[in-house]
Amino acid sequence: MKAVVAERGQVTIPKALRQTLGIDAGTVLEFAAENGRLVAVKLIDDPLAAVYGCPKGHGASADDVLAILRGER
C-alpha cells in the first residue's frame, strides 16, 4: 500500500491497515527511524497508569495521597 506525504508532512494511513491494526481517531502512535525505515508503533492505553504512580507534590503525606485519589483536592 502507498500513501503520499502532504505538504505539511501529513500521511493518511490506508483504511485496510487502520482496521487490521485497530487504529482509530485519537489513537496515539510513536514514530522512530530504524535502519532507514519509518516505524510507527501504536501505544496501548493503560488505564492503571492513570491511577498508579507518583501523585503531584512529591513527599506528600498518606492523607494527602488519599485525598487526591478521592478527588477531594
At 4-48, the pLDDT tens digits run 999 999 999 999 999 999 999 988 899 999 999 999 998 876 666
Residues 6+ apart with CB under 8 A from 32: 38, 39, 41
Please give the residue range of the domain that contains residue 4: 1-42
Residues 37, 11 share a domain? yes
Specify whether 34 is located in the same domain as 56.
no
pLDDT reported for residue 58:
57
Question: Which distant-in-sequence residues (6+ apart) come within 8 Å of 27 by Cβ?
Answer: 42, 43
- The Cα–Cα gap between 21 and 35 comes to 23
Q: What is the CATH number of the domain that holds 34?
A: 2.10.260.10
Give me the number of domains the chain comprises. 2
Q: Looking at the structure, do residues 3 and 38 belong to the same domain, yes or no?
A: yes
Residue 2 shares a structural domain with residue 34: yes
28 and 62 share one domain: no
